[in-house]
Structure 1
């Protein structure tokens, strides 16, 4: 970890793109002790990036004395603000080809078989649903010869269970797959994107103190000290700055935060991050007020190009629906923002088309890339109000916070 610390001090990006011509992307070699023969061997460490799986640490050890070797991959991506649960109803053979990013902190369950893979029992992987079942079968079959000798009754029951898993893999019957990841870094593919996938439900949740302790964020018995804020007025006139890591390149960056009172609305916290290393810039709006008893749903019909310049305030728990494009964006997909309607549509296009990791590299397919490209063109037409043969409807709704509703400032004035 001294290599990481040294890079952070210099202010550079620790995780480099793999490039044979770049010396910085070459592995670091460290002489280390072999745990097999207790003589010195060589460990090679590479800090790199994989699309969507973010930053990883690849380590490989070889011993020239006893020829023992070992390789390992560890996730080095940041832990998300919320945990996430994916629930998928697998109904057909095509569903078995859905790509899945499973972090090592994720729990995998199949309720119909009362089957569960606990967290940290498998390394993180980028696979398909069929690959997850194959991996589970291989793990159960690994010790079957030993069980046949020591516990024949247990071996018979496990063999029957393996047969059930193989039948699920062949698509003989439907089942439910649940992936619960408190780190928020797991993912299940939606092959119908940008349309809604009715077979897949996604739920974000707040981690428990036990889950925070399991992820190493803070000790389980740690008590948070609430410091009273006595001078709110002084905070409104002050921009607070704190150090963080860039969400794109993980290099050290700074985040500015300011408490703002929006006229005729509420107090909000505006946060902006700027990375000098890769140039990434982002801004986010969080609620500074209390939770309202009722959510709000706002429907806006776009009839003129001037509608694109409407100011709006959107929080993390706001969902967006455009019926004419058969498009729905769930809550937490795009963070809280204070922008215009055109700016929101641009962010949606960047999220789905430009920054979608499954449209590049080995994960991409020509059909998927073409479909998302056509959707991006439709978004551009909406931004230019070129689809006004019939008006475009934007529905924005929130369920928890008053700020989780997207609202236009012009509507507030009226």
Structure 2
């Protein structure tokens, strides 16, 4: 790429945030047009999208035949877990939701038994309507050849194309499912900062085949990883900080991750992982529970009465949601991840996620009403942190592995209410507990072997 120094930096970091005020121009290269076989122009832009890490946006245009094409590729690391977005499309406004779909994502419409397998389309930054148009375009591409070779099949596909096109009228509700084993896809929540009632986000553990498809496992490596017993890992982490090499999630340069087992008074032991990059200064911390999923879910409610409440320690597990009823706000468990911080730190993270680093309110794509609504929400969060609003903070953790500091411990805290509840079937499904069998599995295993 012209204009890029040997160290991969052009006037600083090679990757800029979307919405950055810096004068950041794409790299322009001459490339072959696959439509007319003449030379066209490709523009490449390396950028960072919150929720989606680093991406490469490429745009091709040909002055000879006027054919154009845009696509995205992930420039960041593959996430620890895959992600599935399930969206109930009820109105035409839902078709305007912006979508980041990586090339490893599977797109499904169950009502039509329609599926686009992974790695059959390039990644894209589009809308729901754009995804439908792209699917129609892909089906129409080979129709002339089909009509000559198999007219009956071509007629059948024409009928299916009409069904896809009719979905854009939204005469009936339908479902769009985007399942991405890399974890690098995203569907916009236009109601942010409120909960999106039409969208469900779940994470899952990749299969061996999915690891092979992503290139993070050798093709001939089909053996199930043998994990060291959890009790041995916990014992090894006591009284010492474990350090291992990793790559920074921001600049991708080598960094160190520290791991420590911490005993939280009046709660339980947790594993804290912290990464500090000496090159770009980026810092992250993540919390994992060292124990099992509790038998009951836990809902912790704090009534904020003083600014000193902001200094309370908070352990938010990766399965915990955050609610502020007075602001009609709910943050799903998949949004922030596990954190060990203060209440003020948690609220700042929420503000950064919803307002300051929201890619869909930046630049020309930011709708004025959405921008005003989110800025107003940011002001309310600032008022909450200053204890200028009478609100309640609710930590709802179906796994029961979250904690809010009781400053009166071991006596009860008058401002905190703790409620234990039985999980629903859907919550157990999200936690992977419905298919988990811990008793009598030996008998079933013997039965399978003998049949």
TM-score, length-scaled by structure 2: 0.77
Q: Does 1:49 align with 2:42?
A: no
Q: Secondary structure of 2:225's match?
A: coil
- How far the C-alpha of 1:314 sits from its partner, in A, is 1.4
CA distance in 2, matches of 1:95, 1:223: 41
Question: Per the alignment, do residues 385 and 262 of structure 1 end up closer, same or farther by CA in structure 2, a change over 3 Å counting?
Answer: same
Aligned to 1:142: 141
Are 1:96 and 1:169, in contact at CA under 8 Å, matched by a contact in 2?
yes
Are 2:74 and 2:184, in contact at CA under 8 Å, matched by a contact in 1?
no
- How far the C-alpha of 1:196 sits from its partner, in A, is 1.1
Listed as ranges, the gaps of 5+ residues in structure 1 are 62-69
Question: 5 Å matches for 1:1-20?
Answer: 7=7, 15=15
Aligned to 2:206: 207
- How far the C-alpha of 1:25 sits from its partner, in A, is 7.9
Are 1:100 and 1:127, in contact at CA under 8 Å, matched by a contact in 2?
yes
Are 2:109 and 2:177, in contact at CA under 8 Å, matched by a contact in 1?
yes
Are 2:27 and 2:43, in contact at CA under 8 Å, matched by a contact in 1?
yes
Are 1:17 and 1:48, in contact at CA under 8 Å, matched by a contact in 2?
no
Question: Per the alignment, do residues 395 and 260 of structure 1 end up closer, same or farther by CA in structure 2, a change over 3 Å counting?
Answer: same
Are 2:47 and 2:57, in contact at CA under 8 Å, matched by a contact in 1?
no
Are 1:7 and 1:13, in contact at CA under 8 Å, matched by a contact in 2?
no
Q: Secondary structure of 2:94's match?
A: helix
Q: Secondary structure of 1:395's match?
A: strand
CA distance in 1, matches of 2:124, 2:233: 48
Residue 371 (structure 2) aligned to one of 364, 369, 372: 369
Residue 315 (structure 2) aligned to one of 304, 313, 316: 313
Residue 410 (structure 2) aligned to one of 392, 406, 413: 413
Question: Per the alignment, do residues 27 and 254 of structure 1 end up closer, same or farther by CA in structure 2, a change over 3 Å counting?
Answer: farther
Q: Does 1:263 align with 2:260?
A: no
- How far the C-alpha of 1:301 sits from its partner, in A, is 1.5
Are 1:14 and 1:47, in contact at CA under 8 Å, matched by a contact in 2?
no
Aligned to 1:97: 96
Are 2:71 and 2:125, in contact at CA under 8 Å, matched by a contact in 1?
no
Deviation track 1:72-115 (CA, whole Å, cap 9, x = no partner) reads 75322211122111111111111111101111111111111111
Question: Per the alignment, do residues 283 and 413 of structure 1 end up closer, same or farther by CA in structure 2, a change over 3 Å counting?
Answer: farther
CA distance in 2, matches of 1:13, 1:269: 32
Are 2:72 and 2:124, in contact at CA under 8 Å, matched by a contact in 1?
no
CA distance in 2, matches of 1:59, 1:386: 46
TM-score, length-scaled by structure 1: 0.83
Deviation track 1:187-237 (CA, whole Å, cap 9, x = no partner) reads 111111001111111112222232222222224514424446769666323
Are 2:97 and 2:128, in contact at CA under 8 Å, matched by a contact in 1?
yes
- Shifted more, 204-213 versus 374-383: the winner is 204-213
Question: 5 Å matches for 1:331-370?
Answer: 331-370=333-372
- How far the C-alpha of 1:245 sits from its partner, in A, is 2.2
CA distance in 2, matches of 1:25, 1:251: 23
Question: Per the alignment, do residues 29 and 16 of structure 1 end up closer, same or farther by CA in structure 2, a change over 3 Å counting?
Answer: farther
Q: Secondary structure of 2:407's match?
A: helix
